Structure 1
Amino acid sequence: MKRLTSIQDLDALRQQILEKRKHIRKRIRVCNGTGCHSQGSHKLVDAFEKVLSERNVAREYMVVPTGCNGFCAAGPIVVIEPEEVFYQRVKPERVAEIVERSVLGDEVIEDLLYVDPTTGNRIVHEYEIPFFAKQQRLVFRDTGSNYVRDIEDYISRGGYSALAKVLSSMTPEQVIEEVKISGLRGRGGGGFPTGVKWESCRRAHGDIKYVMCNADEGDPGAYMDRSLLEGNPHQVLEGMIIGGYAIGAKEGYVYVRFEYPMAVENALWAIEQAKEYGLLGDGILGTDFSLDIHVNRGAGAFICGESTALMASLEGKIGEPRGKHIHTVEKGLWNRPSNLNNVETWANVPLIINNGGAWFASIGTERSKGTKIFSLVGKINNTGLVEVAMGTPLRTIIEDIGGGIPGGRKFKAVQTGGPSGGCVPERLIDLPVDFEKLKEAGSMMGSGGMIVMDEVTCMVDVARYFLNFLVEESCGKCIPCRVGVKRMHELVVDMCEGRATPEHLTKLEELCHAIQETALCGLGKSAPNPVLSTLRYFREEYEAHVYDKKCPAKICKPLIQYMIDTDKCTGCGACRRRCPENAIIGVIKECHVIDEEVCVRCGVCIETCKFKAIYIE
């Protein structure tokens, strides 16, 4: 490969790649994102290549290991192009059949198709599946279709054309102005206007500046940034290179959380390829602009997702935040001007440059522009990654795209924004999802996690879960977070275990407001959100735990009791034999009883009883 030394070289290479691939009759896309990979999708890639080789047709049919397709509930996923025939939950033993019938032939294999749960109809094409049809995929469009480790595949799709445009016809100021026109706001949680941040960093005094990518995605249930960096690392790199040019940086860092080995591997691979092709390093595309990018792994600390703690970690110090009176765009990494955006924010940049800031600004709402990727998890039929325009109602995301709640249960709430976010109740299901509306509802956009809860979820227990997470992840630098969050957790645990008094509720609310006002960093200040939002919308559940010593959802074990219905119990003894604690007493053909002093509320007896004689009081 000859190093690209001009914009013309890049255009010529793109044409060569397209010409070289004209002979390919079909592409077999195999999702190799972390979810599908964990279910053996890498074995599918090997199996397809082997079968095609044995039939001497490997040159005409291309096997493409892609990034995350997004529809994680259906993995492992195989899509046959150009018809976009979508097969779900594919096993290696079906590969030969798929090749014979759907690749070499045009037959559709019915039992591998997606079945619409509402109609019972089998859907052939990927774009017709409601999960995809209701989305507006811009940033995530190619993540499930491009060849992850092939820079030429990215280039063939127009990759690095935005960088070429910037270097050939735009000044740094013009790039910043285009980003400002777009209205792009940070997708990492803060929602700060990206163009304004870039402008401040460019104007900051200092000859050495840094451009950085925050891939330390620590929210429970969130994996959008991981999937983008794994599945389309060149798009993120291209955005960073453009950002580096705009602010005047010569060096950059991608900070990736420790638990993302595939993202690290693919990012390193992409950086080496970009350097080899002259798209990164010295004299990019033959210009006088140079930029080096390095990958650093975090140690797994949630706090290092906070900007100043991340920079401290990069410097080799303890990952602790500092006061916000000194802006990182002026004194960030090693006390030099630094621009930090998260993975999704960077991935938006090439789209804005290629299509124009006005185009991007036409999508979304007045103050929240563009699209947002959410990880839809929890009690939902279609778990996965969802990209929708800002302002899309929660109902569309949960019911139309997510496919509703499993088991015919009712939707109760959705927790957005990770541990720093809040719970939005069912009565607000038509709430438009954007920065402002979520904040008004007592939650936040965060990085884009969405945890769906059904009617048997205990909201007090949900608050306990997130507080426990925050207690473990607090860096401990400031007292409000180190002591206050721990005390909040103790109060809520007392409620879940039946030890709470009315004073607990008063103290809990006082602590929430005190921590919001006095904590050092944004993560500490937002720590009370899960409690405040559940108190706001589900106060009756807290009162039931405190005053009645009851858990309405029957989740908190100390507040529930297992009972046997004397009219239904036949005395078969099945529950008694299965009980791990020998808490069930009785003889054959006589009604059994449960010893509450011994019972640990494990639920084995309920699962065992075929007469439905055991219930929770």
Structure 2
Amino acid sequence: MNRADLQNMAQRELQRQQTFRCRILCCASTPCLSSGGMAVYDAINDAVQEQKLDAEVQAVSTGCMGPCSRGPMVTVEMPGEEPAIYERVTSERARQIVARHALADAATAADAGLDEHRLPADIPFFVKQKKVVLANSGIIDPERLEDYVARDGYAALAHALREMTPEEVCREIINSGLRGRGGAGYPTGLKWDMVRKARDEKKYVVANGDEGDPGAYMDRTLMESDPHRVLEGMAIAGYAVGADQGYIYVRGEYPVAAKRLERAIRAAERRGILGSRVLESNFNFRIDVRIGAGAFVCGEETALMASIMGKRGQPVPRPPYPAQSGLWGRPTLINNVETFGSIAPIVLNGASWFSEIGTEKSKGTKIFALAGKVNTTGLIEVPMGITLREIVYDIGGGIPDNLAFKAAQTGGPSGGCIPARYLDTPVDYESLRTLGSIMGSGGLIVMDEQSCMVDVAKFFMEFCMDESCGKCVPCRIGTVQMHRLLERITNGSAGPEVLERLQELCVMVKETSLCGLGQSAPNPVLSTIQYFLDEYEAHIHAHHCPAGVCTLNERPVVELV
């Protein structure tokens, strides 16, 4: 298959889709599947078959549509009309949707109470979003290559192979201002250029899909909803840096994502888009999926590489960095799944187009998993620089039961808690770092007035303690000690000296741990002490939890000997 063949495939698929007078899109991402999404899809298919509408109505199993707490989601597309969106659809309601749109049975729709005015522009959740990486999510069937190609899929790869040198591809990514979406925010193009310049006959490209932050599912959703976009980004990266082998490291808890990636790889190989002589060029690139065992520390790049090579997933000191010596001692490019998802739009539309989105130092868009005490939870993609207030109140719909917003936790166990007085802070790398938090991979947990910030700090510390690989003493022992001190504070057995000891431990663990897990583990504690010191003092001095979460019954905590 070459560039012309891709264009012909896209044209044929678009013509096929235009033969249907109605397309009913059913979300089949993990959240909707867990709430009955497959039964909804089957009900729509059954209704179409019963009414003999196969030639007129197409039922499509898609990826995530966004508002996961309102699933299963269904979208109806009809020529010349705005899409109609339905939330919390049941099997019975699915049949009524077919009657309403495919049969124009308004009476059935009225009896069922179907709201025919739920257009994207009428749903606040969608209004302030900007879909770049998730442009296909919820629209295409992730298991059909033709669907992806019909929406300019693999056009960027074809353009890069035909029109650009590897150096020009790296320069385009540098000029776009794209920074790593895995948390560190390192300029993506500079990392690519380092691997490109490395002198070695064998190089690798690795996609890090091992997100382990509590409440985070950005990478899982992208891999489930648009796997070919990840593959295309990796292939472009392979061409740019001179690699012929790629690996996608997927968490073992993501079976749907792994299955769809495997199917996407096989489909691309059959069409000559991956494998030998990609798109009839002299470039060879193969991609394999590697399944992780669920260890949080394997999200750290050196531990991830060790796991791919069949070793125990433990971090090792750097330098050398993976760009110099990675998989099997060869130069290796490692990027987050979302980072690879940004590549094709940049190559296709140009660096200047991408750099116009976002802020001066944080370009483009960012995907967040909005969770916690907010009315509409789900997956969102927003331009860098949007404020926390806009995310929580305009997109998320505010706090349930009209309770007061207390804090937002960004960056997962490595991040910090941002209090209400900073709600108007722009969400970008620099602004969040100034407040003692980080962007992280995109987890965003909202807390209300009924959340105890000491308890929140204890939760994240317990997570880090459990997930520590145990290789270095500061992390292995320090996280245990910090967790025990937090336990004493929350059960009422802590004296005034405990808070000072806790802060000293935080500094020690932060400065002496081997890898990012230990170095960032104290962040939630330090940020909650900085912004919610009064809650710590209330627990210690008044034996009172202002949020009413902690029992403070003075249960003894066994000290380590």
Could you say which TM-score interval applies, normalised by the shorter chain? over 0.9
1:181: how far off?
Answer: 0.3
Instruction: Kindly provide the CA deviation profile for residues 346-381 of structure 1, in whole angstroms up to 9, marking residues without a partner as x.
Output: 000000001101111111111100000100000000
Question: Structure 1 residue 90 and structure 2 residue 89: aligned?
Answer: yes
The letter for the 1-side match of 2:61 is P
Matches of 2:15 and 2:379, distance apart in 1: 33
1:503: how far off?
Answer: 1.1
Matches of 1:21 and 1:390, distance apart in 2: 34
Partner of 1:33: 29
Partner of 2:62: 66
Give 3-state SS (helix, strand or coil) of 2:18's partner: coil
Matches of 1:97 and 1:456, distance apart in 2: 40
Matches of 1:106 and 1:238, distance apart in 2: 43
Matches of 1:522 and 1:429, distance apart in 2: 27
1:23: how far off?
Answer: 1.0
- Counterpart contact for 1:32–1:42, Cα < 8 Å: yes
Give 3-state SS (helix, strand or coil) of 2:367's partner: strand
Question: Structure 1 residue 135 and structure 2 residue 158: aligned?
Answer: no
Partner of 1:396: 390
Matches of 2:159 and 2:105, distance apart in 1: 41
The letter for the 2-side match of 1:282 is S
Partner of 2:200: 206
Matches of 1:112 and 1:314, distance apart in 2: 52
Matches of 1:480 and 1:288, distance apart in 2: 50
Matches of 2:15 and 2:450, distance apart in 1: 57
1:190: how far off?
Answer: 0.8
The letter for the 2-side match of 1:212 is V
Which of 306, 331, 340 is the equivalent residue of 1:337?
Answer: 331
Matches of 1:98 and 1:21, distance apart in 2: 20
1:112: how far off?
Answer: 6.0
1:48: how far off?
Answer: 1.2
Which of 204, 222, 229 is the equivalent residue of 2:223?
Answer: 229
Partner of 2:501: 507
Matches of 1:113 and 1:544, distance apart in 2: 50
Give 3-state SS (helix, strand or coil) of 2:26's partner: strand
Matches of 1:358 and 1:67, distance apart in 2: 29
- Counterpart contact for 2:475–2:509, Cα < 8 Å: yes
1:74: how far off?
Answer: 1.1
Which of 155, 166, 179 is the equivalent residue of 2:149?
Answer: 155
- Counterpart contact for 1:310–1:319, Cα < 8 Å: yes
Question: Structure 1 residue 17 and structure 2 residue 13: aligned?
Answer: yes
Give 3-state SS (helix, strand or coil) of 2:521's partner: coil
The letter for the 2-side match of 1:93 is E
Partner of 1:588: none
Which of 406, 423, 439 is the equivalent residue of 1:429?
Answer: 423
Larger radius of gyration: 1
Partner of 2:545: 551
Instruction: Kindly provide the CA deviation profile for residues 535-574 of structure 1, in whole angstroms up to 9, marking residues without a partner as x.
Output: 00000111111111111111111359xxxxxxxxxxxxxx
1:51: how far off?
Answer: 1.3
Instruction: Kindly provide the CA deviation profile for residues 39-94 of structure 1, in whole angstroms up to 9, marking residues without a partner as x.
Output: 11111111111211121111211101100111112100111003311111111112
- Counterpart contact for 1:87–1:112, Cα < 8 Å: no
Runs of 4+ in 1 over 3 A off after TM superposition: 106-114
The letter for the 1-side match of 2:353 is W
Give 3-state SS (helix, strand or coil) of 2:379's partner: strand
- Counterpart contact for 1:420–1:526, Cα < 8 Å: yes
> Quick one: structure 1 residues 112 and 246, their matched pair in 2 at CA, closer, same or farther if it must change by over 3 Å?
farther
Which of 189, 196, 219 is the equivalent residue of 2:183?
Answer: 189
1:137: how far off?
Answer: 1.3
Which of 17, 42, 46 is the equivalent residue of 2:42?
Answer: 46
Uncovered stretches (5+) of structure 1, i.e. residues with no partner: 115-121, 561-596, 598-617
Give 3-state SS (helix, strand or coil) of 2:470's partner: coil
> Quick one: structure 1 residues 213 and 262, their matched pair in 2 at CA, closer, same or farther if it must change by over 3 Å?
same
RMSD: 1.4
Matches of 2:124 and 2:158, distance apart in 1: 36
Partner of 2:233: 239
Instruction: Kindly provide the CA deviation profile for residues 564-610 of structure 1, in whole angstroms up to 9, marking residues without a partner as x.
Output: xxxxxxxxxxxxxxxxxxxxxxxxxxxxxxxxx9xxxxxxxxxxxxx
The letter for the 1-side match of 2:41 is V
Q: Give matches, 1:479-518, under 5 Å.
A: 479-518=473-512
Question: Structure 1 residue 217 and structure 2 residue 211: aligned?
Answer: yes
- Counterpart contact for 2:208–2:248, Cα < 8 Å: yes
% same residue: 51
Give 3-state SS (helix, strand or coil) of 1:280's partner: coil
Matches of 1:555 and 1:20, distance apart in 2: 57
Matches of 1:127 and 1:161, distance apart in 2: 29
Instruction: Kindly provide the CA deviation profile for residues 87-133 of structure 1, in whole angstroms up to 9, marking residues without a partner as x.
Output: 1111111222211122221749466667xxxxxxx842123200001
Matches of 1:147 and 1:161, distance apart in 2: 18
- Counterpart contact for 1:467–1:527, Cα < 8 Å: yes
The letter for the 2-side match of 1:95 is A
Give 3-state SS (helix, strand or coil) of 1:290's partner: coil
Q: TM-score, normalised by structure 1?
A: 0.87
The letter for the 2-side match of 1:88 is E
Matches of 1:238 and 1:227, distance apart in 2: 17
Give 3-state SS (helix, strand or coil) of 2:23's partner: strand
Relative contact order, CA 8 A, sep 6+: which one is greater? Answer: 2
Uncovered stretches (5+) of structure 2, i.e. residues with no partner: 556-561
1:204: how far off?
Answer: 1.1
Instruction: Kindly provide the CA deviation profile for residues 265-305 of structure 1, in whole angstroms up to 9, marking residues without a partner as x.
Output: 00001000000111000011111101010001000000000
Matches of 1:558 and 1:103, distance apart in 2: 60
> Quick one: structure 1 residues 59 and 417, their matched pair in 2 at CA, closer, same or farther if it must change by over 3 Å?
same
The letter for the 2-side match of 1:46 is D
Give 3-state SS (helix, strand or coil) of 1:79's partner: strand
- Counterpart contact for 2:370–2:396, Cα < 8 Å: yes
Q: Give matches, 1:471-486, under 5 Å.
A: 471-486=465-480
Partner of 1:601: none
Partner of 2:559: none
Tell me the matched-pair count: 550
Partner of 1:615: none
Partner of 1:101: 100
Partner of 1:605: none
Partner of 2:374: 380
Instruction: Kindly provide the CA deviation profile for residues 434-484 of structure 1, in whole angstroms up to 9, marking residues without a partner as x.
Output: 011111101100000001000011000000000000000000111110011
- Counterpart contact for 2:99–2:109, Cα < 8 Å: no
